[in-house]
Amino acid sequence: MAYSKLEYIWLDGYEPTQHLRSKTRVAHDFSGKLEDAPIWAFDGSSTKQAEGSSSDCLLKPVAIFPDPDVKNGYLVMTEVLNADGEPHSTNSRAAIDEDDKDFWFGFEQEYFLVDPETNMPLGFPINGYPEPQGLYYCGVGARNVFGREIIDEHLDICLEAGLNVEGTNGEVAAGQWEFQIFAKGAAQAGDEIWVGRYLIERTARKYGIAVDFHPKPLGDTDWNGSGMHANFSNGFMRDTGGEENMKKICDEFGKHIAEHIAVYGADNDKRLTGKHETQAIDKFSYGVSDRGASIRIPISTIEEGWKGRLEDRRPASNACPYEVASRIIKTVRNVKP
């Protein structure tokens, strides 16, 4: 009898930042289709999602990808339901108000690879710091690149799984990396980022390396933090645009600073200081090619006649992509052409 191994992936109930969880289900004669992946249960009392006296929570499959790393394997992204089938309070995917596929997202997921024995990023000595930032960004060579074999393997696995990864690069700090995901709609964008995060965690573990998604793991130092920059557009921005309209959209974001920051990741205040390619967390600005602004207007948007995408640079590396994309959609919809 043919069998498949389905890796069910979900988000736990820890606050203020949820963690990935997973467990494996063996299925016989599985078709590989999402609709044939059954709802499954787990012990919510062990993930801060239920009390021990009533601990059953449900996993509802919402996206499925082949698992290139596992024989007959599938990666099953799920959302958490209560025992009665209603969405759990921690289920931010089900809380998406609008999931308009007309909205396109390109998330730039940054993170650090960390040696768990020293708790320092790869490339950092046990005491002190390596050479200052400068040659690490898109760097080449053993003095500037740390963990490249992990990154290459992760990229291959993501592509073979069918994730729409558009690229990867070394970031400005030693041991810091980034991958980019493009997707349409808040739910799909979130699904693919979470599965991409799961795969980098699993891939790095094979090498005995940890992944740190904290937005400022090196604290108050002269080293960049990690973000999840959100590039976004809808049909109007791509097809009509115009300088006046694009600036109106930027201005609308400036009216909702608190609402955006609330879902842009825990400890983001340690990263959004106004230094290291960020705007201060309590301020808002936008500008063409300005990586120190809250929203960067890419030069490609200008060259296309002010048509295309904008980049919100404030989301932190540990932010929930479902919440970030949902909030962006809500703000853009406030703008009437």
**What phi-psi label fits residue 50: left (phi over 0), alpha (psi between -120 and 50 degrees) or beta?**
beta
Q: Write down the residue that tokens 């909030």 correspond to.
A: 327
CA dihedral 272, 276, 278, 279 (to 10 degrees): 80
pLDDT given at position 128: 84
Spell out the SS3 assignment of 16-56: CCCCEEEEEEEEECCCCCHHHCCCEEEEHHHCCCCECCECE
Q: Tens place of pLDDT for every residue, the chain, 337 residues?
A: 599 999 999 999 999 999 999 999 999 999 999 999 999 999 999 999 999 888 999 999 999 999 999 999 999 999 999 999 999 999 999 999 888 899 999 999 999 999 999 999 999 998 889 999 999 999 999 999 999 999 999 999 999 999 999 999 999 999 999 999 999 999 999 999 999 999 999 999 999 999 999 999 998 888 999 999 999 999 999 999 999 999 999 999 999 999 999 999 999 999 999 998 899 999 999 999 999 999 999 999 999 999 999 999 999 999 999 999 999 999 999 998 7
Identify the structural domains of the chain with CATH numbers, from first to last: 3-81 (3.10.20.70), 104-333 (3.30.590.10)
Q: Which 3 state secondary structure label does DSSP give 201?
A: helix
pLDDT given at position 53: 87
Contact, 263 vs 269, CB < 8 A?
no
pLDDT given at position 20: 98
pLDDT given at position 1: 56
- Among residues 232, 288, 267, the alpha carbon closest in space to that of 102 is found at 232
Measured distance CA(260)–CA(258) in Å, rounded:
5
Please give the order of strands across the beta sheet that includes 73-81. 20-28, 3-11, 73-81, 56-67, 40-43
Q: In 33-183, which residue ranges form alpha helices assigned H by DSSP?
A: 148-161
pLDDT given at position 100: 87
Q: What is the chain's alpha carbon radius of gyration, rounded to the nearest angstrom?
A: 20
